[in-house]
Structure 1
């Protein structure tokens, strides 16, 4: 028998274009499905998208209808909701489409431990949703709604105090929240750490007038210019719900996300070696730094949910799990919480630079040589493409954890269907760009002539 698969939810929640795949009726039903599966007090938050008020109220309506008390947390980062759910609630929901363009919105479901709902439970939720099997409350058992937007302050204080031995006085940082929910939180975290903070795209606006929610090197050119003009130590930018952070160095050069992962990994593991958990799509820099620091890497399926839950499982076995995350700017520091957290990543970069006494560009130059290429292959039959790759490269060292990863000495490639968009992703990495391009061409010639 085939293993059941998610139909509506992707790698990180469900997303769609407003008025087409995504609408208040669907979100209300998701709320009723969640309320049918979970009991207790539930927190609901949202990002800055223009459709957020309508969808968050639909989610709240579904939860109230199933008899749950709901706290409306207002506009705040996804990791802030996750932190507050872990500390105060039995479950949660975030209305967000993360890095997708402004016409999109979506839903992420949060479990009581602050992690996103796993695949098994999500499939169960979809079952309730598609069958419309909801446990609705009577008139005398309806839930009660309260509003507590001030609760985000607890999250801000927790991150600002995490690196309590670091004094960042005199450090200038430029923050680009991208008009998203971190407009208030990240600058406040960095200011509490002692930084002088300059902001760009710092006003909440669901039309995202300054740049798109996905922070790209091209879209971050104004951030780079402001870093150079202010003499800042670095610039940090968030995606649409601020669970990720990306950086530019003091010269305004973009720091590739896998290099960011490696630098933070080195910082964490040099002080405390242990297990680093990351998906099969992450750069081999993770392996190189692990060897350098006496640590080990454990690979998972792509997606922060898989990483977080594997970290929790290993810790439950008594193993020392010190760091995790993805090579896309989504880092997880288990001492804080088991989810990607953009503000925590920004605070960690402050601690890293203050501890090393070096510039970010110098630290980047100290990493082993590598070149990574990322392509998209459009196909109507992704499973057939994966079978073709598995057969064609059977003589190589294959990892089938998620898609097909082809491992060779000094290089690797990963082919897997996108969890959020209709195409196959192809990652190729080698020590030089020429080697990476040759490997990529070899693969595409065979599987997609």
Structure 2
């Protein structure tokens, strides 16, 4: 059986199940689905293809370009660039797009993210692509595509931010850029420098590093803590592999959770409505930064649906992993930032650093001013979906089982089943379990009044869930 499946961020699976015929066939299915729901004019029969820096991405991108040609589309090769840069170019061109990326998952896996001319695909599109794929006859070795025309998508993405933010907005800040294998490593340095910051590149890698901005690897935390120790940086920033999710650490090396980055971005932009999943901190409501907060399930398709339903006013969506989606244009001092309703790492990085510069405070002081409590998150890997699903079913549906499971840490006073099982304890702490939509993982999210309580609950939650699932085997 193939490992390929749709999750919260597109189609993903093992490289061996995606290279060659499968990537060709899924791209062909995507284009046939688009034709079925909205036939393209001759002018619109264009497919933009981008890729991250994984070893397998160039070969997969070639198959996607070949599929476009086979479908009668003009293939345009955007090369290596951030996913939001590809999405921006596709929407500006009125064309479809495919991004070859596995985001933060290990190098033995990869994936495809599909974009309609108006933005990300939704769950109905996923079903349509799967149906079109099933209808294809067996596809053998994909044909070689002609050399696709290069398309300068990256330049417009950089210009987007340099035309909106003042060129001295980051003046006086010294920023470390953890380059690793992020496809945005050069973009980060270029943009932050152009906006007035002093930038130093750190730990550039020729091999793919699976940086997860939601469940931080111990080795990444150790690197960042070491760089921060000598006190020369106001912040250290990075992204995941395809640069749709940011990583920001303060001057002490403490890594900010993505929902805090989103909240600070909303404050800097003066946003009226925030749309965010249930995994984001409850401080979003208590901060008073936005007049309205709408909660969703985890995943950008759900956030996008929430943004579309938000109505009038300025709208920003974000997830606990930090990816920010700008649902409406922003006007400021005669400058306009167009909507970009797909996850983007660059906007929150700039907005958070600009907040630090404007307030004249350290980043840790800015965060402390939110009075947002403390959060922690991590995951259990290689967890079969059937086993995590059974645990979540019992926690959500069986009060006696839930009481026994949670007995060591306190009474559960509220349960929310919007996505996984979100449990509030009597002291206001939150323990939330959900299965990943992208990998065989069970994720655990914690909210607590202090850092020690958050870390303690996280360690307990992971160990307790692991033991409970072992008992279910």
- Please give the range of the TM-score, normalised by the shorter of the 2 chains: 0.7 to 0.9
Alignment of 1:310 with 2:339, yes or no, is no
SS of residue in 2 equivalent to 1:339: strand
Asked if the contact 2:192/2:199 (under 8 Å) is kept, the reply is yes
Alignment of 1:415 with 2:433, yes or no, is yes
Post-superposition Cα deviations, 1:422-442, rounded to whole Å, max 9, x if no partner, equal: 233332323245487399499
Rate the CA distance shift 1:285–1:165 in 2: closer, same or farther, 3 A. farther
Match of 2:8 in 1: 11
Q: Alignment partner for residue 289 of structure 2, among 288, 293, 309?
A: 293
Greater displacement, 405-414 / 183-192: 405-414
Match of 1:109 in 2: 114
Distance 1:331 1:24 in 2: 32
Distance 2:443 2:169 in 1: 42
Written as runs of structure 1 = structure 2, the 5 A alignment for 1:173-212 is: 173-202=175-204, 205=206, 207-208=207-208, 211-212=209-210
Match of 2:361 in 1: 358
Q: Alignment partner for residue 457 of structure 2, among 409, 416, 437?
A: 437
Rate the CA distance shift 1:376–1:295 in 2: closer, same or farther, 3 A. farther
Written as runs of structure 1 = structure 2, the 5 A alignment for 1:390-401 is: 390-393=396-399, 396-401=413-418
Asked if the contact 1:385/1:447 (under 8 Å) is kept, the reply is yes
Distance 2:11 2:130 in 1: 11
Match of 2:444 in 1: 426
SS of residue in 2 equivalent to 1:86: helix
Asked if the contact 2:374/2:447 (under 8 Å) is kept, the reply is yes
Distance 1:313 1:133 in 2: 39
Post-superposition Cα deviations, 1:253-294, rounded to whole Å, max 9, x if no partner, equal: 3223343334334444xx34x2211111112222222xx335
Post-superposition Cα deviations, 1:204-240, rounded to whole Å, max 9, x if no partner, equal: x3x23xx433353532544444455572221101111
Distance 2:195 2:167 in 1: 10
SS of residue in 1 equivalent to 2:264: helix
Asked if the contact 1:45/1:76 (under 8 Å) is kept, the reply is yes
**CA-CA distance at 1:327 after TM superposition:** 1.1
**CA-CA distance at 1:416 after TM superposition:** 2.2
Asked if the contact 2:379/2:462 (under 8 Å) is kept, the reply is no
Post-superposition Cα deviations, 1:357-395, rounded to whole Å, max 9, x if no partner, equal: 111021223333234354538453444333312223498
Q: Alignment partner for residue 369 of structure 1, among 357, 367, 373?
A: 373
Q: Alignment partner for residue 59 of structure 1, among 64, 73, 83?
A: 64
Alignment of 1:94 with 2:99, yes or no, is yes
Distance 1:400 1:280 in 2: 10
Rate the CA distance shift 1:295–1:145 in 2: closer, same or farther, 3 A. farther
**CA-CA distance at 1:202 after TM superposition:** 4.3
TM-score (norm. length: structure 1)? 0.84
Match of 1:276 in 2: 274
Match of 1:139 in 2: none
Unaligned runs of 5+ in 2: 35-39, 139-143, 330-338, 403-411
Rate the CA distance shift 1:143–1:213 in 2: closer, same or farther, 3 A. same
Written as runs of structure 1 = structure 2, the 5 A alignment for 1:309-388 is: 309-314=305-310, 317=311, 319-334=312-327, 335=329, 336-366=339-369, 367-376=371-380, 378=383, 380-388=386-394
Q: How many residues are treated as equivalent by the alignment?
A: 425
SS of residue in 1 equivalent to 2:97: strand
TM-score (norm. length: structure 2)? 0.80
Unaligned runs of 5+ in 1: 1-5, 135-141
Post-superposition Cα deviations, 1:312-348, rounded to whole Å, max 9, x if no partner, equal: 332xx3x324322111121223334111111222211
Distance 2:391 2:230 in 1: 48
Distance 2:4 2:183 in 1: 29
Rate the CA distance shift 1:23–1:165 in 2: closer, same or farther, 3 A. closer
Rate the CA distance shift 1:41–1:422 in 2: closer, same or farther, 3 A. same
Distance 1:441 1:132 in 2: 42
